[in-house]
Structure formats: structure tokens, C-alpha cells
């Protein structure tokens, strides 16, 4: 289980090597994504709070990166944070998400990206529920819900 100190260490010292890479040109991403998806996932944008019903969905399943299909989060780690964005306590795999210091907008935060294709997901904060204390505040537009096959 990752903790806030683990996240800070990864952001500072480097992320785990991804199991694979998906790389496309800007033109290729533009052809695959809607304008809003491209703005958020490829240009580090943020969707408007409470703009997605994904915040209220808590059925069993997993959440994958919209851009490359890598499974990132499981519904068992999803919780209602009241922030207006889907929130999770842990990724499904330590190598699925990468962490980067983000000093934009006059504050220091930890950005979460897909470790496979570098899509911007959102940010991680140390104010989540026990036991990890983490809150992955993720843009719903950067995710797609996938059902478990089991």
C-alpha cells in the first residue's frame, strides 16, 4: 500500500519503469480524443467539478486510462470525497501511475499521470481515508469504466 511519503519519494526520486509504453503524436491523440478529452488528458487540463456522473458511480469494476486502456483504479478503492471528482485511495498497481511535482497555479501539488502513456489524470493529496490516507482526485474525462471479467 502506497503512503504519502511513498508518493513524495516517487515524485522526487523517480517513478517505477512502466511495463510498456504507448506513445503517439499530438495529431494522433487529436484524432482519437474529443476536444475536452484532449484538453484534460494531453494538455493537463481540469474538468469542471461535479460535471461527471462518474463521481456517483460505485458499481464493481475497474477504471482504465482513456488514452491507452491501462487499468489504473479499482472500484473497491473508490470513495465519495465530496470534491466533485472521482476519488480513489490506491492505484491497482504501483507501476500504473506516475507522480510529478506540480507548482502551477501558485501551489505545490503532486500530479498523477498514466505511467504508460503520460495522460494527465489529476492530483494526489494526503487527506484521504485510512489506512493509506491518500486521495487520488482524478478527472473523470481521463478515465473509462471497464467491467471485471470475473
56 and 76 Cβ atoms separated by less than 8 Å: no
Enter the C-alpha cell of residue 74. Answer: 479499482
Clarify whether 137 is annotated catalytic: yes
44 and 111 Cβ atoms separated by less than 8 Å: yes
Listed in sequence order, the residues at least 6 apart from 143 whose beta carbon sits closer than 8 Å to its beta carbon are 54, 63, 64, 65, 66, 72, 73, 86, 121
**Ramachandran angles phi, psi of 140, nearest 5°:** -60, -35
> Count of CB atoms within 10 A of residue 138's CB?
26
Enter the C-alpha cell of residue 47. Answer: 474538468
Catalytic residues: 137
Amino acid at each position: 500500500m502506497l503512503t504519502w511519503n511513498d508518493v513524495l519519494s516517487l515524485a522526487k526520486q523517480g517513478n517505477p519503469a512502466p511495463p510498456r509504453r504507448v506513445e503517439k503524436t499530438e495529431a494522433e491523440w487529436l484524432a482519437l480524443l474529443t476536444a475536452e478529452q484532449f484538453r484534460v488528458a494531453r494538455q493537463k487540463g481540469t474538468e469542471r467539478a461535479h460535471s461527471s456522473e462518474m463521481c456517483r458511480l460505485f458499481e464493481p469494476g475497474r477504471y482504465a486510462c482513456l488514452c491507452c486502456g491501462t487499468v489504473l483504479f479499482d472500484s473497491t478503492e473508490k470513495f465519495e470525497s465530496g470534491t466533485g471528482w472521482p476519488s480513489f485511495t490506491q492505484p491497482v498497481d504501483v507501476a500504473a501511475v506516475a507522480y510529478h511535482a506540480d507548482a502551477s497555479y501558485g501551489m505545490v501539488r503532486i500530479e498523477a499521470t498514466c505511467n504508460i502513456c503520460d495522460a494527465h489524470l489529476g492530483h494526489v493529496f494526503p487527506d484521504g481515508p485510512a489506512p493509506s490516507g491518500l486521495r487520488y482526485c482524478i478527472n473523470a474525462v481521463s478515465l473509462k469504466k471497464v467491467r471485471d471479467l470475473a
